[in-house]
Structure 1
Amino acid sequence: MLAASVTSFSPDSPLDGLEVGDAPEPVDREHWVTVDVRAASLNHHDLWSLRGVGLRRQQLPMVLGTDAAGVAPDGTEVVVHGVIGADGHGVGPRERRTLLSEHYPGTLAERVAVPAANLIPKPAGLSFEEAACLPVSWLTAYSMLFTAGGLAPGDSVLIQGAGGGVSTAAVLLGVAAGLEVFVTSRSEEKRERALSLGVAAALPPGERLPHRVDVVLESVGQATWGHSVRSVRPGGTITVCGATSGDASPAELTRLFFQEIRVQGVTMGSRDDLAALVNFVSRHDVKPLIDSDHRLRDTSEAMARLLTGTQFGKVVITT
């Protein structure tokens, strides 16, 4: 089958280790099923894998990809939850949690094997391309806003960065939920696009907000951490899902403990969270924003788009 795999690590030039070509068919396992992948979407996790983060050389080649939508063996249209292990479904209760493409082959392929319990029915109102955006970025945004952040209609949130998969998901989910949403971006064009999605204000990085917010969504790290700590209200929460600009330094611990600010890490969410997200987008008629759509054979071009950081929404792969 055709698949996009990491075949070597290159920290400074990650696309050098990407190869699109023949890969072994999924392995049959008890309580697992093989899904015909119709669409997948790219995540920064894929770039980190190409750089050698989270993988060992003896695991190569490894099929990339952590989310997908497709068709199950019984013909059901499904969304694939990409977290494997931790709760015993299909792998045993003692296997540590991993994401697809870390221990088991990922979703950037014509077919992928997952535990049967990891399949969620695809919303009828979403295309395969739109549904493929949900399992990683959208699930992470949902968890940051509502599970870890505990936000409710009328609350306020700052989303650091505009344009990436998590940030655009958080904007659309937050607006649909009745939150007061602020975003930051270095790009005037991205700020204008965020305003068109219904945010209350779109500001340059580091600019003071009209008021401090209940929750900050932090995925940038070093470049925005200080602003995040200064922008959240006393007793508020900073939810963190990444650090694309590097680890924050200093951590500003004095401000954190003096103002009793809670910092909560988030990596995607549970199958129940994904089911709740699918319910949410169906009821509110929210559709993921797609930046660009590429064929599987053109994954290198799609990864290059993600690497530039110029995308607004999700970069999608279709088989």
Structure 2
Amino acid sequence: MRAAYVMHQDAGDPLGGLGLGELDAPAPPAGWVRVHVQAASLNHHDLWSLRGVGLPAERLPMVLGTDAAGRTDDGRDVVVHAVVATAGWEGDETLDPRRTLLSELHPGTLADEVWVPERNVVPRDPALDVVDAACLPTAYLTAYRLLFDAAGLRPGQTVLVQGAGGGVATAAILLGRGGGLRVWVTSRDPGRAARAVELGAHEAFEAGARLPHQVDAVVETVGEATWSHSLKALRPGGVIAVAGATSGAMPPADLNRVFFRSLRVVGSTMGTRAQLVALQDLLVATGVRPVLDGVRPFDETRAAFERLASGEAFGKIVLTLT
């Protein structure tokens, strides 16, 4: 099968270890189903795997990719859920201490086919095409869970999204606006801030700027560079929903502010199958669709990764395999 995979890992030159070509499909675990991939999208998780983070070298070569839409052997059009729980796990699969993502223990989605547990396929609504559906399982699912589960936001409330332009931040803008929230964003880049407003953010502010009033929740994926601002932006009783720390994971905690103002800090990662179903329903009901930086054929995989690694992409990069 054609695949994009990790040949070897290099923290300084991640794309140097990117393999493109034919790989033998491994024997799947009993009871798993095959999905013939029609479209798959890239994530920074793929670059981390190429750098050697979260993927032991003894598992190489490893097919990359966590996001895909395609068709099963019995003709079902599906979206692939990337969180693989251990056999017999009940409840929220993200809480399984032995859970993995596709491309960590089992081959990922950047290939002609991917095998997953039956519970990891979600019927694709016909109103959603394969390219849009392939964008959902990582960034958009993460944003959905941050907004509506971790932060528990409801229509009419205000959310601050730190770092306009990132994949999860962009998804949070679209889903927040679609879900009836007042969405504010911050950015150090005026161009990205303006683009965020075009996408539906109500207002954009310079990073660290004083806001017109305090917010109900903050979506935080930046970490150290924005943490102090996130805490100061919250109303008493507000919540920071955290799903990343791209600028560093060890900012001053400012615990006095946290307990005096009864603030909550809630960690969140990816989402559940049920939340992926609910996310798809939200898109179908509202007409919201993922922002695309570009759609490329599989033959242009290396160029797609170069675009992702450049930091210039705004929106999802999707590869088509049919």
Please report the TM-score for the alignment, with normalisation by the length of structure 1. 0.95
**Would you say 1:47 and 2:47 are equivalent positions?**
yes
The structural deviation recorded for 1:87 is: 6.3
Q: Which residue of 2 aligns with 1:208?
A: 210
Q: Deviations over 1:13-45 (max 9, x none)?
A: 211111111112142332211100011111111
Conserved? CA contact 1:7–1:60, under 8 Å: yes
1-side partners of 2:49 and 2:17: how far apart? Answer: 10
Helix, strand or coil at the partner of 2:289: coil
The structural deviation recorded for 1:101 is: 0.5
Q: Deviations over 1:89-147 (max 9, x none)?
A: 79xx9881000001000001110000011111112122211100111111000000001
Q: Which residue of 2 aligns with 1:32?
A: 32
Q: Which residue of 2 aligns with 1:164?
A: 166
The structural deviation recorded for 1:237 is: 0.7
Q: Which residue of 1 aligns with 2:156?
A: 154
1-side partners of 2:40 and 2:138: how far apart? Answer: 10
Conserved? CA contact 1:294–1:317, under 8 Å: yes
Q: Which residue of 2 aligns with 1:67?
A: 67
Conserved? CA contact 1:240–1:264, under 8 Å: yes
The structural deviation recorded for 1:220 is: 1.0
Write the mapping of 1:67-146 to structure 2, written as runs, cut at 5 A: 67-86=67-86, 88=88, 96-146=98-148
Helix, strand or coil at the partner of 1:141: helix
- From the superposition, tell whether residues 239 and 52 of structure 1 become closer, same or farther in structure 2 (CA, over 3 Å): same
Q: Deviations over 1:55-112 (max 9, x none)?
A: 111111111111110011111110000000146379xx98810000010000011100
1-side partners of 2:86 and 2:261: how far apart? Answer: 34
Question: Which letter maps to 2:123?
Answer: P
**Would you say 1:13 and 2:5 are equivalent positions?**
no
Unaligned 5+ segments in structure 1 are none
1-side partners of 2:195 and 2:51: how far apart? Answer: 31
2-side partners of 1:183 and 1:3: how far apart? Answer: 37
**Would you say 1:248 and 2:250 are equivalent positions?**
yes
Question: Which letter maps to 1:304?
Answer: E
2-side partners of 1:135 and 1:288: how far apart? Answer: 12
Q: Which residue of 1 aligns with 2:57?
A: 57
2-side partners of 1:17 and 1:25: how far apart? Answer: 20
1-side partners of 2:231 and 2:70: how far apart? Answer: 40
Please report the TM-score for the alignment, with normalisation by the length of structure 2. 0.94
Question: Which letter maps to 2:254?
Answer: E
Question: Which letter maps to 1:12?
Answer: G
Question: Which letter maps to 1:152?
Answer: R
Which of the residues 157, 179, 182 maps onto 1:180? Answer: 182
2-side partners of 1:110 and 1:60: how far apart? Answer: 18
